[in-house]
Structure 1
Amino acid sequence: MKPFVVSAFIFILLASPVVHSAEYQSELSYISNQIISRVDDGDITEILQQFDLYKEAGLSFQPGLTVPKSVRNKDNEELAVLLGMIMFDANYAMVFGRMGNSIDNRMFVRTDLLPRLDQGSRLDLNPVRQDLLERLTRDPQDEEARRLVNEHVASQIRSNAEIAENDLEVMQVLVFAYYGAIIQGLYVATSLSMNLPVTPEIEELFEYQLIRLQYLDELIHNLQHSQIRDVLGQEKICSIIDPIIERLMVARGELTPELIKDLNEIATQARSEYVGH
């Protein structure tokens, strides 16, 4: 075969789109549609609004519990998890009126983390409107502005879920970021409440943790396609979150400081894989 014919053949192979099995596309579409449905039903915005539960439970903003803003020596999967952790911290700060901290976290994600993420250029992540952040800086109790910020975040999740229907690596970012947000959220909740009396407000805060965990479990627990399971970290993530879900389900209405301390140990261990090294 002549050299130019060989070169043309190789070019055609490289340029051809990858064709996946029906099972592969069906599962990826299922996850995408589940996320989109939760946005359209208002569930994602409501979850973001319910950050108030941290404040209503009598907890406080503690900078020492937030994730250090560093991306040194982090691989791509670690960066995706850190994305979720740092965005949790941005919302944690916002609900306690610490808008300087919240804006710093959002800027760090845009300027430092996303450029290092392999999928960064394929994500649809437009910044929150500056006027909304200014409104919240002037008045942290501006509920309309906070809801508009949360609706914007939910719309970005929806947009990226649409992209992820045909891009497994973008879906990986969505799943890993959500996992990171859950682990950091549980870490903060348990760290601040494990030495407090268990009040109805703290019970409600941990019911919130359970709902967030169940959402993630429902997305990935029953996946069948081996490549999707592997890329989305199904086995590892479910091995961590499923025991937490089970214990919180059993403890509904009977939450104890001992259980909160046990959950803090789990969250601390899971978090340490991404923070502090």
Structure 2
Amino acid sequence: MPGLTRWRDVVLVHRLHFPLPLSYLAYACWGAAFATADPRHLFSGPVVVTVVATLLALLAGLALNTAADLHTDAHDRDKAALAGATRRFGSRRIFGWAAAEACTALVLAVAVALCLGRWAAVLVVATALGAHVLYNLEPVRLKRRGFAGPAVFGAGFLAVPGLASYFAVRPSLERSMVPVLAGLCVLAFGRTTWFSVPDHEADSRTGVRTPGARYGPRRTLVISCVLVATGLALLGAGLWWRYGPGWALAGMVAEGAFLGGMAALAGPRRSLSRMRRLATPVVLVGDLTLVAIPLLAV
């Protein structure tokens, strides 16, 4: 069935296999959840449009990454299906999709800015898109520059985009949000570093100097754990400031539980597919918990 195959390829190219779309939605919504004391505000017009714009920016970044990484993914056994989907569509077409999704995201963000009379959300969406360009494309291509890659990708994909929906509710950032945002950025840095480990062999063969390829999987995992612990401490401090120690502990446990998936990277059966199967659902629980905490703590 060609139509079904093409649809599956679209899902692969945009990394839309379950449960990842729910995590993307959490990344787009966490800011609005922290900004409002009334869950009904999450369904207001400006917030909904901003969330859609943020999701399109995330999908654009994923499509861009897929097209840019075809050569490396073709050498990775765990990404054979992704490389096959990319070949069937062609990198040029996928780059076109990424550009269209990015432009639509910016147009929607501008529409919200004109409606609300403030432009912070546009700046957030543009910053996230810029991070993906820097991460994926030459001459910069931060993916091949050690820890600079996961630092920029993590912030531009997991942490910063959620601020767009925050600014659709509030005009400025509260002081108590600073450690929350810092914690999410560092946590995302550590998590992205962690997820780079299964790819280190393919990255090494194709000259992409990710942390795993440059420093080896064991050292990279140790550094990743240190980063995650630092991010969790910052996030916990921010949650304590805003909601008290109980909610801080809940957030830290939920966001840190995915480290249990480290078992997926142990021994000769280390693989991306095994890590995804064991760790991704736990990551989703942490992401959804972060959105739920400010709504439950009021």
Taking structure 2 as the reference length, what is the TM-score of the superposition? 0.38
Larger Rg: 1
Of structures 1 and 2, the one scoring higher in RCO (CA 8 A, sep 6+) is 1
Bigger share in helix: 2
